[in-house]
Amino acid sequence: MARLALDNPAYYINREASWLAFNRRVLEEAQDEKNPLLERLKFLSISASNLDEFFEVRVAGLVQQIEDGYTEAGPDGLTLVEERDVVSRETHEFVDDQYHCWNDKLRPALSDHGIRVLGIHELDSRSRAFIEEYCEKELDLLLTPVTVDPAHPFPRVINKALCVAFLLRRRRRSALTYTGVVTVPRALPRLVRLPADGTDDFIFLADLVAFHASRMYHGYDIVSSAAFRVTRNSNLYLAEEESRNLLESVRTELHNRRKGDAVRLEIEADADPEIIERLRTNFELEPWQVFSVNGPVNLSRLFNIYEQTAHPDIKFKPFSPRELRLTAKSQDLFEELRRHDILLHHPFDSYDAVVSFIEAAAQDPRVLSIKQTLYRTNEQSLIVPALISAAEKKEVTAVVELKARFDEDTNIRWARDLEDAGVQVFHGLVGLKTHCKLSLLVRRDSDGVTRRYAHLGTGNYNANTARIYTDLSLLTADPEITGAVHDVFSFLTAYAEHPNYEPLLVAPLDLAERCLGLIEREADHARHGHPARIIAKMNALLDKNIIMALYRASQAGVEIDLIVRGMCALRPGVRGVSDRIRVRSIVGRFLEHSRIFQFANGGEEEVYLSSADWMPRNLYERVEVMFPLKDALARERVRHEILDAYLVDNVKSRVLQKDAIYVRSWQSEGKRRPPVGAQAFSAQDFLLGLAEGKQTAEAMPIPAPRRARRVLLDKER
């Protein structure tokens, strides 16, 4: 039998098309009537925010490459122009579906629940009186009307700023029309709450600007108006090697980013064609980059309705995460860690344990030093103040990644605050982002021995996102792991490369090579008849070398289950190539963010967690860490509680077909109807039930031997 060429473009799915398929799965959650109504609205808002970033980064980069003359095709064989055409077609269809969801599904349903978004023509006398006063006292004071003419050039519209364009005609020169532009002030809410009894009523701020235009344009007749928004290229173009001060370079580039090249124009569907053409020409856009939308220009702002209305009956039920409890034998967390590792699964396990680990270190006089990486953290972070407080009494080192996309400004502020407090602040390595999640403490314990303690995670040090992202944390005092974490910090602060970082796998040094080795080891086990299986959970799978290794492992007989939330370039189910590979994606209440890699290893099972996806940027362009779970109970929990749950989910799981289409898991099994009652199993709901003590392992529909293992695990815990 002829050997198949595994680099055949037919075996790969286009990256951008795969991302758009992921965002469609998010939109499906907005369309799904089984979800609470306000949660559906939130999913619609998230899909819009996702699409913003897609244009700011991915489409902007694609357009830039085409303009620069790049011709190289991707692994899927599409040229850049062909890829652009796919993006154009798919995004226009997607936006149409978003507005259909809003206009025909969500808005009427919200109105039935007393939550109304009204137009000017729908206001009663009370609301009209309110907006008159609101405009006079709040809005009009902040507006700056511009009329474009030889003396007044078109205003610089910053990235994603909501504006209203007008077609104007001077009353004394009726033959000429002018373009007017007003930027809707960001200081005011995009949705203005109206006075109402028994209902929650809102009106879009842009509607008020258009309604009051006559106050701004005296001497003009307003022929027509339309709200619009421009999305700009938000990639940072840094020459790091030539930079004298990375912080200042990032700060300067951030200022420039707000004025990057336009990549998309969104405008109301009923806009006058003359307005559309004038705007398109001004922003130098192709027709495919213009999106006429049948509704509010920025759907992501609908999230304000979710935040400003209570209605607990149409939201997810609140839950209380499981708090970390120390055993009776331990006096504090450090003594507990000397006994065994602690594995936390957020948000089901409270993130407070991670914060407490760092806060305790800051206050504990026995802790001599703290080292910390920061990629994204929340504005009200308790971790940064803890580091600042600790700097008064002990050695504190922070590696702050200034180039974390869309968090650059926040990270610059944190870096300056930390430096002012005496923390040694570093910004990682030139040309690489620091994406690993590490915290390392050195402590002189009560027995006189100086030990290291570490936290390693799959997610950011952000207590806010830890409530809505699924991630895993490992707290450990294992000498091998903590010693290797120390070496990684030396790499980050001094570019000091060690011969190896075992038991850690570190990008860009050896992570890719060793992952390929782990996959090939499973293939070798399969060839020799030993237990061989791979289960890998991640956010994205794009690296061609990894994909080819998985294809070879499948050909060798390895059973492979991939749980990939977002982009996946691997094409499963191809005869002779990926027959034994199954790919599923879970999109639900929580954003699946954890990275887990399990290898059967001939019966000596290994489980790794990581900050890295199997993407080129993670493997070769960032400092990432993949770490083993050495504690047997932790491995069992990941394998038989977490991974098993995701693999049998038949509610929120979609299965990738070889034609690159995602279908519900029950559809992939040939069933005509979704499961109901006891047959329906949601992994996230199951894990919530476990955390709250409302559910046991018996709820998981898995074969008896694995259930027995699950019950035993419950008893051990």
The CATH number that applies at residue 516 is 3.30.870.10
Contact 562, 584 (CB under 8 A): yes
Q: Is residue 600 domain-resident?
A: yes
Task: Give catalytic residues, as residue numbers.
Answer: 435
Query: Are residues 282 and 222 part of one domain?
Result: yes
Q: 689, exposed or middle or buried, with CB in 10 Å at 0-12, 13-18, 19+?
A: middle
What's the CA gap between 466 and 80, in Å, rounded? 37
Query: Are residues 483 and 519 part of one domain?
Result: no
Query: Are residues 172 and 35 part of one domain?
Result: yes
What's the CA gap between 204 and 190, in Å, rounded? 6
In this predicted model, what pLDDT tens digit does every residue of 333-359 receive, in sequence order? 999 999 999 999 999 999 999 999 999
Q: Is residue 321 domain-resident?
A: no
pLDDT at 262: 94
Q: Is residue 514 domain-resident?
A: yes
For the chain, list residues with pLDDT below 70: 1-2, 173, 236-259, 404, 407, 702-717
pLDDT at 71: 84
In this predicted model, what pLDDT tens digit does every residue of 190-236 receive, in sequence order? 999 999 998 999 999 999 999 888 888 988 999 999 999 999 998 76
pLDDT at 237: 62
Query: Are residues 343 and 252 part of one domain?
Result: no
Q: Is residue 198 domain-resident?
A: yes
Q: Is residue 6 domain-resident?
A: no
Query: Are residues 169 and 39 part of one domain?
Result: yes
pLDDT at 490: 95
Domain CATH for 192: 3.30.1840.10
Query: Are residues 155 and 288 part of one domain?
Result: yes
Query: Are residues 161 and 38 part of one domain?
Result: yes
pLDDT at 113: 96
What's the CA gap between 625 and 488, in Å, rounded? 9
Query: Are residues 622 and 561 part of one domain?
Result: yes
What's the CA gap between 79 and 632, in Å, rounded? 48
pLDDT at 666: 86
Query: Are residues 544 and 469 part of one domain?
Result: no
Write down which residue in 494, 524, 540 finishes a domain: 494
* Percentage of the residues of the chain whose pLDDT score is greater than 70: 93
Write down which residue in 494, 526, 548 finishes a domain: 494
User: How many structural domains is the chain composed of?
Assistant: 3
Contact 394, 366 (CB under 8 A): no
pLDDT at 577: 97
pLDDT at 708: 43
pLDDT at 705: 44
Q: Is residue 637 domain-resident?
A: yes
pLDDT at 622: 95
Q: Is residue 499 domain-resident?
A: no
Q: Please report which helix (H) or strand (E) contains residue 210, including its range.
A: helix 205-211
pLDDT at 3: 76
Write down which residue in 283, 314, 345 finishes a domain: 314
pLDDT at 321: 95
Q: What is the pTM of this model?
A: 0.93
Query: Are residues 487 and 583 part of one domain?
Result: no
pLDDT at 216: 87
pLDDT at 252: 63
Q: Helices 352-363 and 383-390, interaxial angle, to 10°?
A: 10
Going along 184-261, which residue ranges are E strands? 191-194, 200-204, 220-232
Q: Please report which helix (H) or strand (E) contains residue 489, including its range.
A: helix 479-494
Contact 344, 470 (CB under 8 A): no
pLDDT at 247: 62
Q: Is residue 5 domain-resident?
A: no
C-alpha atoms less than 13 angstroms from C-alpha of 368 in its C-beta half-sphere? 9
Query: Are residues 397 and 293 part of one domain?
Result: no
Query: What range defines the domain where residue 157 resides?
Result: 13-314
Query: Are residues 306 and 359 part of one domain?
Result: no
